Structure 1
Amino acid sequence: MRADRLVSLVLLLRQRGRMSAATLARELEVSTRTVLRDIEALSAAGVPVYAERGRHGGFALLPSFQTELTGLNHDEALALLVAGSRRGAQAFGLGSALASAMLKVVDALPEGYRDTAAGAAQRLLIDPETDLLSRRVVAEEVPDIVVAEIRRAVFAGHKLRIHYAAVDQAPKWRTVDPIGLVTVREQGYLLATRSGVDRTYRLSRVLAAEELHEPAQRPEQVDLGRAWQERSTRFRTGGDQVVVLVRVNPARREDLVGTALAVRAEETDADGWLRLDVTFQDSRHAEWALWQLATNAEALAPQWLRTSLRNRAVAIATRYSGSS
């Protein structure tokens, strides 16, 4: 890992020129002390890196220095294959590999193309962390050591032990046959089988993972898109799902539909509001979705949902009825 970091350090200095130790530390996700040790190691190896002191000082390479250290390692090549979504790379624990790979790709470009590409890249922003209303997109955090172990088992075709915390259950160990990894809306999933039965595990709920030496029982070829679609269909049509009759302001229809599993029926009332039969994953999902819409929606049925929403509203009103 240190060798990859040293290569990245050299490429950063080649592409950006003089950089401070603090800036290098942020880019490489290490401490400033580690950067200084790496600079010493590069100097000892004959790389012409020098320091400039002062307010605008930092480290730089001699202008004539060239390097051919642009070969991609396995993880970096894999990161580029999923680079259509940078967050997809993050979900699979490949964020740092993607950053390192992109440095190598840029460094391999002819000098004229490199400058053009760098200028164009400054004009593009993909998937910012907040939207226009400053709502932050929260990606699920999965420890790199956990997702790396899962990734190795998936690629090697080995069985996998995971310490998994299912909803409303105590965490326990499971041995599964991994099939593939999927990322959807900032959430990563492991598709697997357990005792021959399809299983889908959310990566953020995997507390620990261990690749086993035993070969996984799985087909040689897999169509992940089709497998995901089949599991999504089973998910939408099974379990503790509830159907809710809702009146919603047309301006907020997409907000409602975007949180639901399916819309079974829809019509327009005389006042212009929409009346929909909507399916939710369970009672908690239904209550949460309707609560987000406040007075822009009304649950007409079932009665238990109306009562639950009313009780929550009364509790909030009571809390704020007096002075602070």
Structure 2
Amino acid sequence: MLVSLPAIHVTLCRVYGEEVRADRLVSLVLLLRQHGRLSATALAAELEVSTRTVLRDIEALSSAGVPVYAERGRHGGFALLPGFRTELTGLSQDEALALLIAGSRRGGQSFGLGSALASAMLKVVDALPESHRATAAGASRRLLVDPETDLLARRVDADEVPDAVMSVVRRAVLAGHRLRIRYAAVDQDPRWRTVDPIGLVTVRDQGYLLATRSGEDRTYRLSRVLAAEELAEPAQRPDGVDLDRAWQERSARFRAGGALVTARVRVDGARRDDLVRTAVTVLSEETDADGLVRLEVTFQDARHARWALWQLGAHAEALEPSWLRTALQDDAAAVLARYERR
């Protein structure tokens, strides 16, 4: 028995008139297809609903013609009749694998699309022929992109944006509507501002809203958006946008702005990459006769410069500006005094 997923979705939407519930029912079918048999408790955990909701969903599927049945007993649960299949055409094995690998990235989480991505992955895996399904799933488990920690077990902290806020921002961006956001800029009290959203960008697990306000380009850190309201009026923005180019242009303007701190540093060659990774830009570089590397780099601000060089300890030395040398000397003296006190 071969049934099209879109056909199931349309039928359920027509019967129940609920897009969200119809999506959940399709996900329930896919879970049963992939696992064979699952208890109501297991289904509830996967779908993040109550067992009572699962039982109502099972009844709804039966009414819609999906051959789902219950098995009693200690190892019982719900299952589909043998031979029942869903269909999603147009994907090769490599294309499905690419989607599975893309699903391991945290971009979906950054834009509040984690649950939608998980649902899409279920559909992709279920659509593959049996032989391809096992191969793709096995291959995807052997490729890991952007894990949460590096080799030194340092955790990569992603920006946290409330789902309710992210949903409103994303909807306004895609619909092309104006947006009111309550934004907490650095060292300022939160306040409301109306913007014309252009697009969303995620960089190293930090999300940004690209927008204009009163015709001027603005970039907002999503984690600093405390509340958001989508307005009915259309956003004042061009129909097409090259988001990658827009981001590069704004990054260049930011680097050229007066807020950046330029420093000259000597660093051990073995730690050169550590410094470069945290700096905004490298303006010049040369290697001394003793093997130390002299760099002229920029940092986001004074605090960033002080933090970045402190992380390198005795492996780096700030040569200029003088206030940075003094600040690091004061930090070192404070630490020394703390340990001498014992």
Normalising by the residue count of structure 2, what TM-score does the alignment of the two structures yield? 0.84
Question: Conserved in 1, the CA contact under 8 Å of 2:104 and 2:144?
Answer: no
Whole-angstrom distance in 2 between the partners of 1:118 and 1:63: 24
Q: Which sections of structure 1, spanning at least 5 residues, go unmatched?
A: 72-79
Whole-angstrom distance in 2 between the partners of 1:162 and 1:267: 46
Question: 3-state SS of the aligned residue for 1:219?
Answer: coil
**Aligned residue in 1 for 2:84:** 66
**Aligned residue in 2 for 1:41:** 57
Whole-angstrom distance in 2 between the partners of 1:84 and 1:27: 17
Identity %: 66
Q: 1:179 to 1:165 in 2, by over 3 A?
A: same
**One-letter code of the match for 1:42?**
I
Two-structure CA RMSD over aligned residues (Å): 2.3
Question: Conserved in 2, the CA contact under 8 Å of 1:21 and 1:58?
Answer: no
**One-letter code of the match for 1:196?**
G
**One-letter code of the match for 1:37?**
T
**Aligned residue in 2 for 1:287:** 306
Question: Conserved in 2, the CA contact under 8 Å of 1:48 and 1:65?
Answer: no
1:92-241 aligned within 5 A: 92-241=111-260
Whole-angstrom distance in 1 between the partners of 2:42 and 2:269: 49
Q: 1:8 to 1:84 in 2, by over 3 A?
A: closer
**Deviation larger for 257-266 or 118-127:** 118-127
Runs of 4+ in 1 over 6 A off after TM superposition: none
Q: 1:288 to 1:208 in 2, by over 3 A?
A: same
Number of matched pairs: 310
Q: Which sections of structure 2, spanning at least 5 residues, go unmatched?
A: 1-19, 90-98
Q: 1:206 to 1:283 in 2, by over 3 A?
A: same
CA offsets 1:273-310 (integer angstroms, 9 cap, x no match): 11111111111110011011111101011111111111
Q: 1:290 to 1:49 in 2, by over 3 A?
A: farther
Whole-angstrom distance in 2 between the partners of 1:232 and 1:261: 10
CA offsets 1:235-283 (integer angstroms, 9 cap, x no match): 0010321111101000111110111111122121221111111111111
Residue 49 of structure 1 deviates from its aligned partner by 4.0
Question: Conserved in 2, the CA contact under 8 Å of 1:39 and 1:49?
Answer: no
**Aligned residue in 1 for 2:329:** 310
Residue 65 of structure 1 deviates from its aligned partner by 5.8
**One-letter code of the match for 1:64?**
P
